[in-house]
Amino acid sequence: MKAMILEQPRPIGEHPLQLVDLPAPEPGVGEVQVRVHVCGICHTDLHTVEGELPLLGRPLVIGHQVVGTVEKRGKGTTRFSEGDRVGLAWLASTCGKCRFCLSGRENLCPDARFTGYDVDGGYAEYTVAKEAFAYRLPDGFADEQAAPLLCAGIIGFRALRLSEIQPGSRLGLYGFGASAHVAIQVAVHWRCEVYVFTRSPAHQDLARSLGATWVGRAEMTPPEKLDSAIIFAPAGELVLDALRVLERGGTLALAGIYSTPVPALNYTEHLYYERTVRSVTAATRQDGEELLRLAGEIPIETEIERFPLHDANRALELLKASRINGAGVLTIP
């Protein structure tokens, strides 16, 4: 099979992903082999490729927003049949026994493994996955439109929940890439006023078209204080910008897996009056199921830009430069 592999993390401008031929992986007990149709690209992929996240094993096939069909089933699989369309997300497996798994917080499992990071992912023609961690995808979404829902959508949805946004409240979104352009559609569906902070004129236009109440840059002051805010961009300095315009009792959720350092906070200006800052760590399968169900109800429309598999380096370069409007998707021939 064709696959883009990472042998050594390097700046994306050096094109560290290499197109190679590998044997197609065979499914083990409880696993399915998936013929990959498309795989979304994500900032986590970029952080992995550039070495901002420590790699445990190499070579590695990255990618964790996978849409494909079940080609083979390993022993003990019962949920899917050969030919079923499935989606694979960031969470690849958990122990199922720890205090976090048993309390509905499997995203915090110390033994959790992640697609395209601990196990090979979707920048390839085939991959294998635990059947219990694969998703049925809602009808009405083409493969390319479904892919961004599997990380950008799921993480955006969990970030919305952890931001404690309520219907009719004011929400701020910092950065307007793949996750934010899905999250805004959920928030508008919940009748929230959404204030979008992004420096890209194209992203500003997209935010307006998706129902943003106000659009500006991070250093600007919106016309109203925010009840909740989410930072999607991996820039620690945005924490100060968001807290500066957060209402008393408001919550700021940090949705990135990586961030540059957060500058020193002024307690009175940024934190007092019971403001809350919290991180978002991965997501549970329940988050995924709820987001996919909601995506079909709204329905969510994903803005995508397609790239062939061999162009994965260039796609990640464009992602780093904020030159993809919506979400980038690799198509696998």
Look at residues 196, 242, 241 and name the one whose alpha carbon lies nearest to residue 215: 196
Every domain of the chain and the residues it spans: 2-151+282-331, 154-279
Q: What DSSP line would sit under 133-171, residue for residue?
A: GEEEPPTT--HHHHGGGGTHHHHHHHHHHHTT--TT-EE
Rg of the chain (C-alpha set): 19
Look at residues 1, 107, 6, 124 and name the one whose alpha carbon lies nearest to residue 66: 124
Please confirm whether the linkage preceding 167 is cis (ω < 30° from 0).
Answer: no
* C-alpha separations of 209 from 147, 149, 186, 195, 204 in Å: 21, 19, 14, 13, 9
pLDDT band at 315 (very low <50, low <70, confident <90, very high): very high
Distance of CA 170 to the CA centre of its chain: 23
pLDDT beyond 90 at 191: yes
User: Is beta strand 226-231 parallel, antiparallel or unpaired with respect to 246-254?
Assistant: parallel
* pLDDT above 70: percentage of residues in the chain: 100
pLDDT at 171: 98
Neighbour tally for 29: CB within 10 Å: 10
pLDDT tens digit sequence for 52-100: 999 888 899 999 999 999 999 999 999 999 999 999 999 999 999 999 9
pLDDT beyond 90 at 163: yes
pLDDT at 56: 82
Q: By the 8 A CB rule, do 124 and 6 touch?
A: no
CA distance 63 to 200: 25
pLDDT tens digit sequence for 128-158: 999 999 999 999 999 999 999 999 999 999 9
Average pLDDT on 23-51 reads 97
pLDDT at 114: 98
Q: What is the three-class DSSP state of 250? A: strand
Q: What is the three-class DSSP state of 90? A: coil
pLDDT beyond 90 at 333: no
Superfamily of domain 154-279: NAD(P)-binding Rossmann-like Domain (3.40.50.720)
Average pLDDT on 93-109 reads 98
CA distance 25 to 178: 29
Token look-up 């961690």 returns: 133
Q: Give the DSSP letter of residue 241.
A: H
pLDDT tens digit sequence for 229-255: 999 999 999 999 999 999 999 999 999
Q: By the 8 A CB rule, do 36 and 127 touch?
A: yes
Considering the four listed CATH numbers 2.40.50.140, 3.40.50.300, 3.40.50.620, 3.90.180.10, the one that applies to the domain covering 2-151+282-331 is 3.90.180.10
Which are the contacts of 321, defined by CB distance < 8 A and separation ≥ 6?
A: none
pLDDT at 240: 98
pLDDT beyond 90 at 218: yes
Query: Which residues make beta-bridge pairs with 70?
Result: 34
Query: In the predicted model, what is the mean pLDDT of the chain?
Result: 97
pLDDT at 167: 95
- The torsion angles phi and psi of 48, rounded to 5 degrees, stand at -70, -50
Q: At what angle do helices 178-189 and 201-209 cross, to 10 degrees?
A: 20
